[in-house]
Amino acid sequence: MGYIKVNNEKVTKEVASELMDICPFNAFEYTDAYLSINASCRVCKLCVKKGPKGVCEFIDDSRPKIDKTIYRGIAVYIEQRNNKAHEVGFELLGKAQEISKKTNEPVYAIVIAKDASKIVEQCLSYGVDEVFVFQDDAYEDFNVETYTNAVEHFYKKYQNNVILMGSTPQGRSFAPRIAARLRTGLTADCTMLDITEEGDLLQIRPAFGGNIMAKINTPNNRPQLATIRYKMFNKPNKVVPFGKVTYEETGNLSKESTIKMIEKIEKPKVNDISEAEVIIAVGRAFKKQKDLELIEPLRQKLNAQIACTRPLVENGWFDNRLQIGLSGRTVKPKLLINLGISGSVHFIEGMKESELIISVNQDPNTKLFDVSHYSIIGDIYEVIPKLNDLLKEIGVV
Ligand SMILES: Cc1cc2nc3c(=O)[nH]c(=O)nc-3n(C[C@H](O)[C@H](O)[C@H](O)COP(=O)(O)OP(=O)(O)OC[C@H]3O[C@@H](n4cnc5c(N)ncnc54)[C@H](O)[C@@H]3O)c2cc1C
């Protein structure tokens, strides 16, 4: 962008006063015979053009433009644990393929694992052009230091355009490390991706508490690096594999690490609402915790998982892993029933891709109805028993 430099050896009281009159932003300050520019400066350059010659100077410090033709390929990091891929990687392959049709470049998968064979097969079946594999006993468990070495090696060798990763706990620690190592930017927690007219990756994510959708791009740096939430995109259709597999030489990559695995403790398994096919989501319309018993027959009949809005986590009724939304989980079930939920942007961002959405609310103008396939206007305390009766009538026991 550049900035204005003041050559103070040419400044007198009169010169300072003249420049202060010229500047429409009151950006000049003259104290102790020294003229400085404050943060109000918009670099309009009026002082350079209209001020006394040689006093103000425009310094162009913008970085030279990169040659974008060098960079090719949209790479997706396929996260794994115990040699089993996290589904978010495959969802990102779907989005990468969509983008690659616009930019006309290949889609790559990066797999770092002790045994990558099964994941490689899966990637190929999803139509990846090339899978790059870093396979080594040292990669049995995720280690942000050694895994970063592998991605750095990949990027330096193949100079690809984009790297996409899941916004999982692993991705959230891994991506910033890669960004720092490759000296590029990172847009974390994107909910949408697109391409700008110039062919750059448009990384879209909620900002300012979800009140605006920020559109971020990286026009003068490569790779373009983004993490994306689970359940935002669809996995690609399976195809007859045609892609290539390249096993990278890992012997020369440093496996040194300051992190030592002492013990692995498996977390108790909880039903993850992100994986649920049927969800009943409850909101602040429930007056007492005991009233939640009302939904139990419905839950059993539909074999549904219960989820909730944030206020119900805040008041201690639910574990935060059951919260849908921007600061909770993203869900995409086959059926989502919302009971007494207003539909704040924070909630909607976490559920709007669900296949069938039915919402019950007594307020006909509730925002949640805008994204619902079926809207029931009524009091939940009356509608829930009726839904139970209806399911009995149509034979759902
Ligand atoms: C940074 C940030 C992040 C956030 N992240 C999340 C998030 O991830 N998830 C989330 O859920 N929220 C989140 N929130 C909070 C969010 O803004 C809303 O406050 C919250 O979603 C509202 O929850 P609700 O719909 O249950 O409650 P309310 O907004 O109070 O809505 C209750 C609804 O119930 C209806 N109702 C009342 N009584 C009845 C009845 N008897 N029968 C039928 N309908 C009835 C009302 O008409 C109303 O529409 C976040 C907020 C911030 C600032």
Instruction: Locate the ligand 1 atom nearest the alpha carbon of residue 325 and give its number.
Output: 8
Instruction: Note whether residue 243 is domain-resident.
Output: yes
Compute the distance between CA of residue 391 and CA of residue 11 in angstroms, rounded to an integer.
85
Interacting residues of 228 by C-beta distance below 8 A, sequence separation 6+ = 88, 91, 92, 95, 164, 165, 166, 167, 189, 190, 191, 193
Q: What is the pLDDT of residues 97-137, one digit of tens each?
A: 999 999 999 999 999 999 999 999 999 999 999 999 999 99
Q: Are residues 141 and 180 in the same domain?
A: yes
Residue 171: CB within 6 Å of ligand 1?
Answer: no
CATH number at residue 339: 3.40.50.1220
206 lines ligand 1 (CB under 6 A): no
Residues 39 and 72 in one domain: no
Supply the DSSP symbol for 23.
-
Give the atom of ligand 1 at the shortest distance from the alpha carbon of 326. 8
Residue 128 lies in a domain: yes
Do residue 336 and residue 188 come from a single domain? no
The verdict on ipTM greater than 0.95 is: yes
Please, which pLDDT band fits residue 397 given cuts at 50, 70 and 90? low
Compute how many other C-beta atoms are within 10 angstroms of the C-beta atom of residue 321: 14
Q: Same structural domain for residues 107 and 202? A: yes
Q: Which of 229, 247, 265 is the last residue of a domain?
A: 247
Residue 255 falls inside a structural domain = no
Tokens of 357: 């959405």
- Give me the domain span that covers residue 386: 273-393
Alpha carbons 84 and 86: distance in angstroms, whole number: 7
Q: Is the C-beta atom of 328 inside 6 A of ligand 1?
A: yes
State if residue 317 touches ligand 1 by the CB under 6 angstroms criterion: no
Q: Which residues belong to the annotated binding site for FAD?
A: 284, 309-310, 323-327, 361, 379-380
pLDDT at 27: 97
Q: Give the residue carrying structure tokens 């750095």.
A: 152
DSSP state of 329: B
Residues 94 and 222 in one domain: yes
Among 295, 337, 342, name the best residue to mutate to test ligand 1's pocket (greatest count of ligand atoms within 8 A of Cβ).
Answer: 342
**pLDDT tens digits for range 64-97:** 789 999 999 999 999 999 999 999 999 999 999 9
Centre of ligand 1 to C-alpha 253, Å, is: 50
Residues 39 and 75 in one domain: no
Question: Within this chain, do residues 239 and 328 fall inside the same structural domain, yes or no?
Answer: no
Instruction: Compute the distance from residue 205 Cα to the ligand 1 centre, in Å.
Output: 21
Indicate whether 185 and 286 sit together in one domain: no
**How far apart (Å, rounded) are the C-alpha atoms in residues 321 and 323?**
6
Do the Cβ atoms of 213 and 207 come closer than 8 Å?
yes
The domain tally of the chain equals: 3
Q: What CATH number is attached to the domain comprising 113?
A: 3.40.50.620
Write down the residue that tokens 């889609």 correspond to. Answer: 107
